[in-house]
Chains A and B, each alone.
Chain A
Amino acid sequence: MIEVQNLTKRYGGHVAVNNISFKVEEGEILGFLGPNGAGKTTTMNILTGYISASSGVAKIKDIDVLEQPNLAKMNIGYLPEQPPLYLDMTVREYLDFMYDLKKCKLPRREHIAEICKQVKIENVYGRLIKNLSKGYKQRVGFAQALIGNPPVLILDEPTVGLDPKQIIEIRSLIKSLGRQHTVILSSHILQEIEAVCDRIIIINKGVIVADDKTSVLATKYSSDRRLLVRVAGNHDEIFNLLKRVPNVVNVTSFGEKEPGIFEYALEPAEGCDIRRDVSTRIAARNWAIMGMKSMEMTLEDVFIALTREQYVPAGNKKGGR
């Protein structure tokens, strides 16, 4: 549905987007995650034909955005970071204008009414846009993107400026839209992407550092397989016992964390689950396990690790590192 090949955008000496490639399949919700200034908006602006790339190809439904811009644009609904609203118009006038601008062929009143219902702006339909709150303005921007029922939706930080209730509403709206549309969504908020998207592309300094299913990403990039246990008992004796548990490669003591309770990090041999052995052996000595958790990275840790200043991806291939 969407295809990006070796896209690069230079602004003078500054490279905003550096040779990125990815594909989005029909019906997929792709999350574009990255710190501010990573190149998310630039990529989206290229995809929507607002700016051109310095090199590389962007295709929407196999239509080259640069070569057949009008045809490609017919298939895109775009909500930029700042919704493109004419403040001197009412919501009704504005949506009518966007309907004409997009050369929409669907029945006008029904189509616009349906969108207004979807994004919940029926009650402000007759009001001037400049008098609306930020949340409503954002939703009118959203409505504009939905006009013409485009197969591809590109949403640049769609929940910025909304209150928590509205954020949840917009997220569930995006999720429901994902059934009929292909969606690219950008955000610098991880939880948002995690809640909505099937797949995540993490972008930093213009390069893709990770591209994977949301569920896979955390485990895949987690290099840390250590197990953290807290045991009540004698420090040295516990330490020696843990060392002798089969498949334990290394034990590190973190000392006394609570009175009489000590914390250790156990490194298992690759592919081994040591939790059962650890718990039975400690129980056999009549000590108590006060806590046990794996030290696997959360998606947030992955994100922070991948977007660190010094992080340099090994090439631009799928999967990053």
Chain B
Amino acid sequence: MGAVFKREFRAFFTSPVGYVVLAALGFFAGLFFYAANILGLSSDLSPVFSSMFTFILMILPLVTMRLLSDEKRQKTDQALLTSPVSLTGIVLGKYFAALLVYSLFLLEMIVFAMIIAFQVTPDWTIFLGNCIGILLIGGFIISIGILISSLTESQLIAAIGTLAISFVLLLMDGIAYQFSNYKILTTIVNFLSISSRYSNFTSGVIAYDDIIYFVSMQALILFLTVRVLDRKRWG
């Protein structure tokens, strides 16, 4: 896992992808911080976090699109799959590399919190909740991205597929509303909804069931990715 993680993480910064993603996230976060906190004279960073939500959904597919699809297209998966590493190690290595690149963006949020801390004491629990929430939601999208990327050789299809699924998850609440006549459907859709769970974090509520939901969903999706890779051996 270590070798794959190291290579992947470096690959983000030997190509422009890592810089572009971080610059884009940083730019939007800065914009929201300026509008909400500087102009709005507020010490609460939650609006910045919740506004970033949509942008994260749009940008993360670009981080994950290459991860497995490109290996297949360049046939470098032959090196990975014929080396004495487990498939789980390969998938986790890629997952954590992408997660680390993404979480670098949190450094900027910490800088913002520091700026606020010069003037007033920010509510650190809410800030912590926001950070955990945004990490979990990011990890969730990254795991979906890796799964989609394992299904195709095309980076474009991987990106668009991940984007589409992310947005369906985002719109779950609206979909649940349409099904309000059917109790079971509403329950299921509400369970899958990520935006209501994420908004818990932005309001400073760190609930165990939300954390367990995000972590277990990621574990499930990464497990499915391993199965997809394993299927190749059997196909």
A residues apposed to B, CB below 8 Å: 48-52, 69-71, 73-74, 76, 78, 80, 82, 84-89, 93, 97-98, 100-103, 144
Contact A84 B76 (CB under 8 A): yes
Across-interface contacts of A80 in B (CB, < 8 A): 75, 78, 82
**Contact A50 B84, beta carbon cutoff 8 Å:** no
Asked if B86 and A52 make an inter-chain contact with CB atoms under 8 angstroms apart, the answer reads no
Bound-state Cα–Cα, A144 to B77, Å: 14
Whether B11 sits at the interface, judged by CB under 8 Å, is yes
CB atoms of B85 and A84 under 8 A apart: no
**B3 CB-CB contact with A under 8 Å:** yes
User: A93 to chain B: which residues have CB within 8 Å?
Assistant: 10
In the A-B complex, list the 10 residue pairs whose CB atoms are closest, starting with the nearest.
A100-B3, A84-B79, A70-B84, A48-B82, A73-B84, A84-B76, A101-B3, A52-B233, A101-B83, A84-B78
A-contacting residues, B77-132, CB 8 Å = 77-86
Q: Are B77 and A84 in contact (CB under 8 A)?
A: yes
Distance in angstroms from B150 CB to nearest chain A CB is: 16
Q: Report the minimal beta-carbon distance from B63 to chain A, rounded to whole angstroms.
A: 16
Could you tell me which B residues sit within 8 Å of A by CB distance? 2-4, 6-7, 10-11, 14-15, 74-86, 232-235
Taking a contact as CB atoms under 8 Å apart, the answer to whether B79 and A101 are in contact is yes
Contact B232 A49 (CB under 8 A): no
Interface core residue of B4, B76, B82 (most chain A CB under 10 Å) = B82
Q: How far is the CA of A52 from the CA of B230 in the complex (A)?
A: 10
Pair B78/A49 contact, Cβ less than 8 Å = no
- Given the interface pairs A50-B78, A50-B81, A103-B84, the reply to whether A88 lies near B2 with Cβ below 8 Å is no
Measured CA separation A24–B234 after assembly (Å):
25
Are A70 and B6 in contact, with the CB atoms below 8 A? no
Q: Nearest residue in B to A76 (C-beta to C-beta)?
A: B82
A109–B2 CA distance with the chains assembled, in angstroms = 19
Q: Please tell me if the beta carbons of A89 and B14 are within 8 angstroms of each other in the complex.
A: yes
Contact flag A50-B82 (CB < 8 Å), given A85-B76, A88-B11, A101-B3: yes
**Contact assessment for B232 and A51 in the assembled complex, using a CB-CB cutoff below 8 Å:** yes
Determine the residue in chain B with the shortest Cβ distance to A97.
B7
Nearest B residue to A46 via CB reads: B233
- What residues of A have a CB within 8 angstroms of the CB of B79 in the complex? 84, 98, 101, 144
27 A-B residue pairs with CB within 8 Å:
A49-B233, A50-B81, A50-B82, A52-B233, A70-B86, A71-B84, A73-B82, A76-B82, A78-B78, A80-B78, A80-B82, A82-B75, A84-B75, A84-B76, A84-B77, A85-B76, A86-B76, A88-B14, A89-B7, A89-B14, A97-B3, A97-B6, A98-B79, A100-B2, A100-B3, A100-B6, A103-B85
By a CB distance below 8 angstroms, the chain A residues around B80 are: 84, 101
B contact patch SS:
helix
The answer on a CB contact under 8 Å between A101 and B75 is no
Given A88-B14, A88-B15, also A49-B82 (CB < 8 A): yes
Task: Give complex CA distance A51, B76 in Å.
Answer: 14
For B234, list chain A residues within 8 Å (CB).
52
Residues of B within 8 A of A70 (CB): 84-86
**A16→B81 CA distance, assembly (Å):** 21
Cα distance A217–B76 when bound, in Å? 37
Name which residue of chain A comes closest to B230, CB basis: A52
Chain A neighbourhood of B86, CB < 8 A: 70
Return chain B residues, CB-CB under 8 Å to A84: 74-80
CA distance A89 to B11 in the complex (A): 8
With both chains docked as a complex, state the minimum distance between the C-beta of A81 and any C-beta of chain B, in angstroms: 8
Residues of chain B with a CB closer than 8 A to A144's CB: 79
Complex Cα spacing A48 to B81, Å: 9
Closest to B14 in A: A88
A78 pairs with B233, CB closer than 8 A = no
In the bound complex, residues from chain A placing their C-beta under 8 Å from that of B81 are 49-50
10 further A-B contacts with Cβ under 8 Å, apart from A93-B10, A144-B79, are A49-B81, A51-B233, A70-B86, A78-B78, A80-B78, A84-B75, A84-B78, A86-B7, A101-B80, A102-B83
Q: Which residues of A contact B74 (CB under 8 A)?
A: 84-87
Cα-based distance from A284 to B79 in the complex (angstroms):
70
B71 CB → nearest A CB, Å: 9
Q: Which residues of B contact A73 (CB under 8 A)?
A: 82-84
